Structure 1
């Protein structure tokens, strides 16, 4: 009998990029078997999609209620053990809530929820269910990001004193300048996306990345957001100042109207002894900067890297690894947790990371709305 973890997926059908990413990632270490789910709000489309990707259709359901009812009727060893939530933001909370109430392990796209209140409810339910809950801040799975984290933790750059993170995209340009298009895009609809577009979509990646690699917590934020048009109620660009302590400061620069940019996510951490820099579009290179020394470039797969980095490296040095591999490392960590195997706490983002991400989104928007003032992030 297969020992693979039985996986269900909600959303991610059709030509969804995030759907492909999760499906491929789940197959990387031979830990999961995709057995069904709800790929689309229309049952016929879900069934057609299942046929297209080559899985059986007897466990394709019309909605989550039907999924839980049918799966609960199966012998325990045949039931779905973990469900991935890949739907628009407003569905994350009700779906995760119902799954937790029925004892499922969950892998959820970010942001965790659209409000901090909802996130706190899920936190309470998780404490009761004692299941595994991961939030897919995908970029934390890159081997050289994990190397960056371990180097900072081990004192390689000394005390952190400056953090600068940029996440620039230009994808919303064809939409934002057309009144009809911007009125009919779910990303710009607060009822479906939450209170923020840019900060909620990519700014939260930057926030989580900073805390992941630096080991520091952001205490306060001051945000200046841009909406571009008066009839657009969702931010599509912004600059956010960060305070970690009295003497450690930083900045997040995030935009979806950076014309010509694709996925320019750059993380720079500067310490008293050295600096480290990583670029998502060239993820195999981690740059080490030291005063009076030539620039050093660290690459994955070499013995000089940390155990955490090497564990997430699938190929010999010189063979590029990318975002599919990064998400695959997160799925691998979740599999270890579900199987109650030993795993590193940095192998996958948890609900705590998801809650802090939602907290950050709310405080950044509040800072802007209150006149660009400093706002504390709740503990």
Structure 2
């Protein structure tokens, strides 16, 4: 069995690596052309454009790797079928269940690799790419992504709600152009705090710098204010600490695009949105898609296995590879369409994320069972 495992794994892994390299080379060329045009406008050379294009490769790898697994596995298994090697393996005792078990182990390794790249490598490279792009263009605040957040607290036994605007995130990770609106339990505006920048620790303590604070009716008791007796107090502070339930992880998730968040960041952010009674459907769907995405490698390997049971005269490898590409594209298309439909129809997020994988896995098992029994 070790010899069979070595033969299958060597052929499949080699084909998957070649297909992944081909995809990455193609997308690197496209990104390089885009970055070259962008960098030329600010007088930066082609070497730095190539570096920025390279920083995008982990993200492309994460998105394309399941398709590379499908195409690579089809190439390897179709080649074994065409040379009758797989037929000899079946005659030697490689039954359908054992073949599935062998490929499932390999798919598990592919799934772990997909998870690690998508959750740790790709987000880090994307942020470093933003920082490099900012340094090349001499812009201290490269990330222009902003966000609105909500928070609820009890201050001296009274309910307070906060609407927080984060303008952008600087290259050092500090929050820039922060505005905090404070409201009482009746929804009346109590204060407005502006800060040029803020650093947030893991406990949710905001260290605001260069602060301008406006307070309406400071020290006034709860309840409606008398007509015509509005008092406004303004302060200029070098530093102000503000305790909040919005910790660094939630803020990082809020200012990042949903596609570039890690699974844990998405989970934290969706939990925060639900706790603040905000709509979390889009991020819930994205969370479950992110959680299930590595398991697409199992689906792709299952889709490729029936090609090993097709005889060489049933069509050349090129036809099978073309069929594999169409299967991979249709899977990705259905995955994206299901996400949009789930958002529009307000379907259960985990069902939306799991349905394409379960559907294609069922189709692959049906085709595999039919080929084993009748071919």
Give yes or no for TM over 0.5: no
TM class by smaller structure = under 0.3
TM-score by length of 2: 0.22
Higher helix share: 2
Task: State the structure with bigger RCO (CA 8 A, min sep 6), 1 or 2.
Answer: 1
- Rg larger in structure: 2
